[in-house]
Amino acid sequence: MVTVLGEITPQVIDSLSDEELQQFGITFKKTAYIKSAAQKVLSGELNIESLRAMSDEEVCAKLVELDGIGIWTAEMLMLFSMQRRNILSFGDLALVRGMRMVYHHKVINRQLFDRYKKRFSPYASVAGLYFWAVAGGAIEGMKDYAPTNNKYDENRRKDKSGKK
């Protein structure tokens, strides 16, 4: 998009037709969400600059008011676009998997997750990057301790290790 459009701004997005946006691989539904967000910025309904002064909780609440933005998406926007330093998403399955692998838990419930997040604060975003790496296989031999009733998963683990 940057190569074709140059700078991507609400004005540029608003000037494009749905079909032009979809040519970048954006689905019909996401095109509507992106255009709606651009229009809210242009109308002043959403002041992006004001987000910088808000707490993480306030930013999340403001972002989820936008069509197509849920808590996980808001957290990913805060982490990657806003570079907030204390974002750790309970809704991110890979991140939670990495936590299970590192701490050898079968389950990470919200209460346990919140205790870990508090431990990592105010730099939970950095911890999250490491958990994603672990979940992606960065450390050989680490396993996920989540219980499974799925025969496919059990057989796959057996095939990899040679034993169950």
Residue 107: its pLDDT value, please? 96
Distance CA 54, CA 22 (A): 32
- Asked if residue 68 and residue 39 are part of one domain, the reply reads yes
Question: Mean pLDDT in each 10-residue stretch from start to end of the chain (164 residues)?
Answer: 95 97 96 97 97 98 97 98 98 98 97 98 98 97 86 55 50
- Asked if residue 71 and residue 6 are part of one domain, the reply reads yes
For 154, the domain range is 93-161
- Asked if residue 43 and residue 109 are part of one domain, the reply reads no
Cβ(88)–Cβ(120) below 8 Å: yes
- Asked if residue 134 and residue 71 are part of one domain, the reply reads no
Number of structural domains the chain divides into: 2
- Residue 86 is assigned to a structural domain of this protein: no
- Residue 146 is assigned to a structural domain of this protein: yes
The reply to whether the predicted model has a pTM over 0.95 is: no
Burial of 135 (0-12, 13-18, 19+ CB in 10 A): buried
Cβ(163)–Cβ(134) below 8 Å: no
Residue 160: its pLDDT value, please? 52
- Residue 29 is assigned to a structural domain of this protein: yes
